[in-house]
A and B are shown apart, each in its own frame.
Chain A
Amino acid sequence: MFVLKNVRYKNILYIDHLVIPKGRITCITGESGSGKTTLLKLLNNLISSDSGEIFYMGKNMREIDPVQLRREVVLLPQTPVIFPGTIKDNLLIGRRFSERPPVGDDELSVLLEKTRLSKDLASSAAELSGGEKQRLALCRVLLMEPDALLLDEPTSALDNDTADLVMGLVANYARDKRKTIVMVTHSKELARIYGEKLVTINGGRIVHVEEVAE
Chain B
Amino acid sequence: MKGIAEIGFSQLLAAYVFLILLLVMASRQGIDKEKEIIVSALRMTFQLVLMGYVLVYILEFNSLLLSACTLFLMELFAVKNIYSRVKVEINPRLRRVIVFSMFTGTVTPLLYFLLAVINISPWYEARYFIPIAGMFIGNSMTGVSLGTERLIDSIKTKRELIEGALMLGATPKQAAKIAVNDAFTAAIMPTINSMVGMGIVFLPGMMTGQILSGISPLTAIKYQIAIMLGVLGSVSLTVFMLVRLGYKTFFNERAQLVG
Contact = CB atoms under 8 A, between A and B. Distances in A.
Contacts of A46: 163, 166-167, 256
Contact of A75 (B161, B167, B170, B255): B167
Interface string A48-77: 100000000000000000111011001111
Contacts of A74: 167-169
Nearest to B252: A48
Given A67-B169, A98-B168, 10 more contacts: A48-B254, A70-B167, A77-B164, A81-B165, A81-B167, A83-B161, A94-B168, A97-B165, A141-B168, A144-B169
Contacts, number: 61
A97 B163 contact: no
**What are the 8 tightest A-B residue pairs by CB atom distance, in nearest-first order?**
A81-B164, A71-B169, A97-B170, A98-B169, A75-B167, A70-B169, A66-B255, A94-B168
Interface in B239-259: 254-256
B171 A67 contact: yes
A45 B165 contact: no
Contacts of A67: 169-171, 255
Interface in B149-205: 160-161, 163-171, 174, 178
B161 to A, nearest CB: 6
A155 interface: no
Given A83-B161, A97-B174, A77 B167 contact: yes
Interface in A71-97: 71, 74-77, 79, 81, 83-84, 93-94, 97
A136 to B, nearest CB: 12
A135 interface: no
11 contacts: A68-B169, A70-B169, A75-B167, A77-B167, A81-B163, A83-B161, A93-B168, A97-B169, A97-B174, A98-B168, A140-B168
Contact of B168 (A45, A70, A84): A70
B167 A79 contact: no
A165 to B, nearest CB: 24
Contacts of A94: 168-169
A100 to B, nearest CB: 9
Interface in A2-42: none
Contacts of A140: 168
A212 interface: no
B256 A97 contact: no
A185 interface: no
Given A77-B164, A81-B164, A83-B161, A47 B170 contact: no
A189 to B, nearest CB: 27
A162 B94 CA distance: 47
A84 B160 CA distance: 13
A73 to B, nearest CB: 9
Contacts of B164: 77, 81, 83
A97 B170 CA distance: 5
Nearest to A137: B164
B256 A66 contact: yes
Interface in B75-92: none
A44 interface: yes
A68 B166 CA distance: 11
A48 B256 contact: yes
A135 B86 CA distance: 41
Contacts of B255: 45, 66-67
Contacts of B178: 84
Given A45-B256, A67-B171, A81 B161 contact: yes
Contacts of A71: 169
A31 to B, nearest CB: 24
Contact of B160 (A44, A79, A144): A79
